[in-house]
Structure 1
Amino acid sequence: MADFKVIHKTKYSYDDFVAYCHNMAHMYPLTTTHQDCYRTHVTVNPKPVVSSFRRDYFGNQVFLFSVEDPHRFLEVVVESTVRTHQSFDFDLSKSTPWDFIYNMIHESTLDSDLQAIEFIQPSPYISSKLNYFDFANNIFTYNKPVFVGAMELTRYIFENFQYDPKATNINTPLEQVLFQKKGVCQDFSHLMIAALRSLNIPCRYVSGYLETFPPPGTPKLQGSDATHAWVSVYCPTLGWLDFDPTNGKLISEEYIITAIGRDYSDVSPLKGILFGGGKHKLKVEVDVIREQI
C-alpha cells in the first residue's frame, strides 16, 4: 500500500490569439481494485466559461471545459491524492489457456465476459491486428495459460525493443515500431495489444502515472515524472491483469491508473478543438510524490 500526491501540469503557449477552445481531459485517477482516489482538483487558466464532469463509455472520469475569451496560453493543473494497493501474488499458470478464451466469452452469459468481447475488435490505432499474428504466435504456443503468455510477451518486448523518445511520434505506424524495435510506452503498449488481439485475446490500453526514482546520490527533479501506458489482459476465470511491456513486469503499487480504453485515442490526457492560435509550444510537468502513511 502506498499514498501518492500527483500533480500534472499542461501548458500550451500560442504564437497568436486563440479565439476560443473546447477541451476534454482524462486526468482524474480512477477508483478501482488497484487504487482509491480520495481527491482530485483541477485549475484552468484562463478560467473556463463552461465546465462539467461526466463518465465516458469506459467508466473514466472526463472533465469538459470551454475557454471563450481570447488567450495566448492555456494552463491546466490537476492535483490528485491516491492510495494504491499491493498487487495480489498468484500463480499465472492457473489462468485459462489462451486458445479457449474466444469461445468461452462468446458462449458466456456473464456481463464481464460479454464486455470483454469489444476489446478483441480493431480500434483507431490498432486497425490491422492480423499483421501481428506471427509475432504473437511465436510466444503463445498451444494451450499456454493466457497470463503466462502475456508475461512472456511483456518480457520479450522489454528485452528486445529499445526505449527511444526520438524514434516515434503519435502518428508513427505500428508496423514501423515492430520493424525498427524502438519507441516509447505508448508504442509498446499498442504493439502488445495488436499481438494479443490477433489471437482473439481481450486486452485494454491503460494510461496513468508511474513513480520514478533519480540516479543514486542525485535529487529528484521537480516535474521530471511523466504519463505512462501499459496493457490490461482478460482471463474469463480471473478477470483483468495489468502488464507493463516498457518495464517488463506486472504493475505494482507505484502505478496509478487514470483511464482505460481500446487504445490511446480513447484516453488522451488532454485534447480539444481551438480556433486560431497559429503554432504552439507544449510543456508538460508531472510529479508523483510518495507520502508517508
Structure 2
Amino acid sequence: MRLHVTHETRYDYTPPVETAQHLAHLRPLVTPSQRLVSHRLRITPEPAQRSESPDLYGNTRAFFALESTHDELVVTAESVVETSVPRLAPSVARELPWEAVRERFRYRKGFSFDAASDFGFPSPYVPLHDNFAAYARASFAPGRPTFDVAMDLTLRMHRDFLYDAESTEINTPAVEALAQRKGVCQDFAHIMIACFRTMGLPARYVSGYLLTQPPLGQPRLIGADASHAWVQVYLPGVVGPGDWADFDPTNGRQPGEDYVTLALGRDYSDVSPMRGVLHGGARHTLHVGVTVQPAEELLTASSQSQSQSQSSS
C-alpha cells in the first residue's frame, strides 16, 4: 500500500519568540515492511540552521534553529511510504514460553548481550510498578508463548480501557491511566510496555500513523487524523537475534499495511514529534493536523482539480 502522510504543526506565540532551537522526529523509518518513497520537511520561518542525524535508536531527527523574532512557527512534514504487512523473521522462537524469554534477559556473567535488553528497564514515562504486574498476570499464564501473551494483553486492554481524549495529558503517569482505565493511545502503549517490563520482558514504544476510513459517502477530512502509538514486543530467536512484533492495544489488533512507522524508542520522551527550547514566547497555542490517505486518492483529487480548473478557463 502506498500512503501519503501530511503532518502539520503550528505554534502561535504571545509575545513573540526571540530565538529557538527545535528537534523533530517526523521522517518515517525504513523497515523490512516499509519503504520511504519521499520525504519533505518545510519550516516557516526559514531557519538559520538545520541538519539531520540518526539518534540512538536509528530514528532520523531534524535539528533547526531560528535566530530572528517570530510570532508563529509552522512545520509541515510530507511523506510518501510504501507499506506491507509486517512479517516476523523465520528464526523467531514463536513458541518459547514467556518465562524462558525472561530468563534470557537475566544478567549472567559471560552470557552474550542482547541489544533488546535496553528496552527492559524503566524509562521516564514507563516506571516499574506492582500495579502493572497485577493487571498483566491474567495474560501471563504459565508456559504461554510470549506472542500469545502479547496478543491476549492487547485484546484485554481493548476491552477494559475507554478511549477518552479528555481524561489524560501528555504528562499523566501511566499508573494513573491504568487506575482509571481510560486515556489515549499514548497511555495505552505506555501501560502495555510497563506490563511487559514489570514482568521482566523487553518492549518498546512506536510512534506513527494509522489510515482511517471516513464515514460511508463522506469525503476524507484534511487534517482531521492524529498521530498514533503502539507497542513492539521482543521475540528472541531460536539461535541468535530475534525480532520485534507489533501490537496495538488501542484498536485491539496487530498493525498491518495501514500503519506507518515513524520512530521507535523507550517511550514517548524519546520520539516526541516536536520539542524545543525557546527564548521569549511566554504563551503559545498549538495546532496539529495530520492527514493519512492512499496516494492514489491524492492523485485522483489532483486530476479532478486540474480538470475543473481547465473547464473553468
Compute the TM-score of the two structures, normalised by the length of structure 1.
Answer: 0.94
Equivalent position of 1:5 in the other structure: 4
Counterpart in the other structure of 1:262: 266
Superposition deviation, residue 224 in structure 1: 1.0
Identity %: 41
The aligned counterpart of 2:199 is: 199
Greater displacement, 132-141 / 156-165: 132-141
Distance 2:216 2:37 in 1: 32
1:41 aligns with 2:45: no
> Given that residues 129 and 197 in structure 1 are in contact (C-alpha distance below 8 angstroms), is that contact kept between their aligned partners in structure 2?
no
Q: Report the CA distance between 1:127 and its aligned residue.
A: 2.0
CA distance in 1, matches of 2:32, 2:183: 30
| Aligned equivalent of 2:216 | 216
Structure with the greater alpha carbon radius of gyration: 2
- Runs of 4+ more than 6 Å apart: 89-93, 107-111
**In structure 1, distance between residues paired with 2:173 and 2:187:** 9
**Quick one: distance in 1 between partners of 2:219 and 2:93?**
41
| Cα offset, 1:230, TM superposition | 0.1
SS at match of 2:229: strand
Structure 2 residue ranges without an equivalent (≥5): 298-313
Identify the residue that residue 301 of structure 2 maps to in structure 1.
none
Q: Find the counterpart in structure 2 of residue 290 from structure 1.
A: 294
Higher strand share: 1
Name the residue aligned to 1:61: 60
Letter in 2 for 1:247: N
Equivalent position of 1:97 in the other structure: 97
Measured after TM superposition, the shift of residue 126 of structure 1 is 1.1
In structure 1, the residue corresponding to 2:153 is in which secondary structure? helix
Partner Cα distance (1:76, 1:224) in 2: 17
**1:95-244 counterparts in 2 under 5 A?**
95-106=95-106, 114-237=114-237, 238-244=242-248
Aligned to 2:148, what secondary structure does the other structure show? helix
| Aligned residue in 2 for 1:87 | 86
2:251 counterpart residue number: 247
* SS of residue in 2 equivalent to 1:250: coil
CA distance in 2, matches of 1:83, 1:22: 32
Give the distance between the partners of 1:146 and 1:128, measured in 2 at CA: 19
Paired residues of 1:40 and 1:81 also in contact (CA < 8 A): yes
Once the two structures are superposed, what CA deviation does each residue of 1:228-252 show, in whole Å capped at 9, x if it has no partner?
A: 0000000102510000000000010
Q: Is the 8 A contact 2:47 2:66 kept in 1?
A: yes
- Aligned counterparts of 1:110 and 1:31: Cα–Cα separation in 2: 27
> What letter is aligned with 2:251?
N
Distance in 2 of aligned mates of 1:69 and 1:203: 42
Deviation at 1:105, TM superposition (A): 4.2
- What is the CA–CA distance in structure 2 between the aligned matches of 1:43 and 1:165, rounded to whole Å? 29
Q: State the shift of 1:90 in Å.
A: 10
Work out the CA distance in 2 between the residues paired with 1:206 and 1:213.
22
- The alpha carbon displacement at 1:56 in A equals 0.1
Q: CA deviation at 1:138?
A: 1.7
Shift in Å, 1:278: 1.8
TM-score for the superposition, normalised by structure 2? 0.88
1:94 is displaced (CA, Å) by 3.4
Q: CA contact under 8 A between 1:122 and 1:129: conserved in structure 2? A: no
Tell whether the 8 Å contact from 2:41 to 2:76 is kept in structure 1 after alignment: yes
Contiguous gaps of at least 5 residues in structure 1: none
- Partners of 2:94 and 2:146 within 8 A in 1: no
Q: How far does residue 173 in structure 1 lie from its aligned partner after superposition? A: 1.8
Contact map agreement 2:89 2:243 (CA 8 A) in 1: no
Q: Which segment is superposed worse, 215-224 or 251-260? A: 215-224
Q: Take 1:277 and 1:127, find their aligned partners in 2: how far apart are those partners?
A: 33
Q: Give, as a single letter, the amino acid of the residue that structure 2 aligns with 1:34.
A: S
Secondary structure of the residue that 2:189 maps to in structure 1?
Answer: helix
Deviation for aligned residue 1:15: 1.3
Deviation at 1:179, TM superposition (A): 1.4
Q: CA 1:247 to 1:93, structure 2 compared with 1: closer, same or farther past 3 Å?
A: farther
